[in-house]
Amino acid sequence: MIKEKRPIIIDTDPGIDDAVALSIALNHPELDVQLLTTVAGNVNVHKTTENTLKLVSFFEKQVPVAKGCDKPLLIQLEDSAEIHGESGMDGYDFPKATAKALDIHAVEAMKDCILSSSEPITLVPIAALTNIALLLSMYPETKQNIKEIVMMGGSLSRGNTNTSAEFNTYVDPHAAQIVFQSGIPIVMVGLDVTSTALLTKNETEKIKAFGKVGNMFYSLFQHYRGGSLQTGLKMHDVCAIAYLTDPDLFTVQETFIEIALDGPAAGATVADLKMKYHDSTNATACLDIDIPAFQKWVVSNLEKIN
């Protein structure tokens, strides 16, 4: 039985793990990617936009791309070019993008898309939440047509950018606070699952054999510093896409999450997992993932793209 295609908007900062996530989402039969919006994060927004246009062109998809914020709401951008390379997608020489970005800002494009949709849209931010926070602040009426936010970000335990904070919520903690206070249902796919859901040599050697697409990914994997080909590659953003189509891969818990805004834990997502301090919840947090099933899911979805 073919499921109804789920309308989604992906907010992204490619980023090599973003590239894998976008590739699966753009080609998945159950997902209707209505819009891609870009934001500063892994690298600057000019590069994340160019990278998104290159991917849309590579897969010959007619999906609109809109460029978003070039810096966090209040603080300076700290990128992670050391993980993804200076271009943000080092390792593969993509053909020049044929697609062009819309001439409106990502926030305007999201507002238009959401308000004109006949069914509620799922927002899938896999980057800092700057665009999302501005959308909800400038156009609160969009909330009524947003089904939920399924985000890669945050952590219930250690961080990957400071001791406690994951990169996406670290980059723009003020935006993260606005989003978690919005009242919109949120699924937080954080480091607790994304740092364990590795692509090992078993998977990357299979992917390498998938023709032009496999060659592209394997070339990127050789430059990606979110792990390594030898120790396993962390597919952070891909986990958010997996949640959309296969939520049963995940173990989740309803909780209340607050954001630390400054100090040594700035950007940390502080979860009241025992609900000692709150009498209501604002997020579904992912605690665990079926790693072998996830690995199989990634390989089979990339193989289908060919």
Task: Tell me the C-alpha distance between 12 and 67, whole Å.
Answer: 10
The string over 176-186, giving b where at least 16 C-beta atoms fall within 10 Å of a residue's C-beta and e elsewhere, is bbbbbebebeb
Residue position matching structure tokens 């289908």:
304
126 is a site residue for Ca ion (CB under 5 A)? yes
Beta carbon of residue 153, minimum distance to ligand RIB (angstroms, whole number): 7
Choose, by CB under 6 A, the member of 58, 92, 94, 167 that binds ligand RIB.
167
- How many chain residues are in contact with ligand RIB, going by CB under 6 A? 15
Question: CA 134 to CA 116: how far, in whole Å?
Answer: 19
Q: Could you tell me which stretch among 9-17, 90-98, 267-275, 277-285 binds ligand RIB (CB under 6 A)?
A: 9-17
The alpha-helical segments, DSSP class H, found in 159-305 are: 167-171, 173-180, 191-194, 201-208, 211-221, 236-245, 291-305
Judged by CB under 6 A, which of 73, 237, 249, 284 binds ligand RIB?
A: 237
Is residue 51 within 8 Å of 14, Cβ to Cβ?
yes
Tell which one of 6, 8, 18, 298 touches Ca ion (CB under 5 A). 18
Name residues whose C-beta falls within 8 Å of residue 181's C-beta, 6 or more positions apart in sequence.
Answer: 282
Please choose, out of 14-22, 43-51, 110-118, 263-271, the segment that lies near ligand RIB by the rule CB under 6 A: 14-22
Q: Would you say 43 or 216 has its CB closer to ligand RIB?
A: 43
| Sole binder of ligand RIB in the list 9, 19, 36, 127 (CB under 6 A) | 127
Check residue 164 for interaction with ligand RIB (CB under 6 A): no
Residues designated as active site: 236
φ, ψ of residue 242 to 5 degrees: the values are: -60, -35
Q: Which amino acid is at 207?
A: I
SS3 132: helix
CB nearer to Ca ion: pick between 21 and 256: 21
Q: What mask, x for binding ligand RIB by CB under 6 A, covers residues 17 to 46?
A: xx----------------------xx----
* 52 sits near ligand RIB (criterion: CB under 6 A): no
Please identify which residue in 39, 53, 109, 127 interacts with Ca ion, judged by CB under 5 A.
127
Inter-CA distances, 4 with 28, 130, 219, 246, 285, Å? 12, 30, 34, 14, 25
Residues interacting with Ca ion, by CB under 5 A?
13, 15, 18, 126-127, 237
Interacting residue ranges for ligand RIB, rule: CB under 6 A? 13, 15, 17-18, 41-42, 126-127, 152, 160, 166-168, 236-237
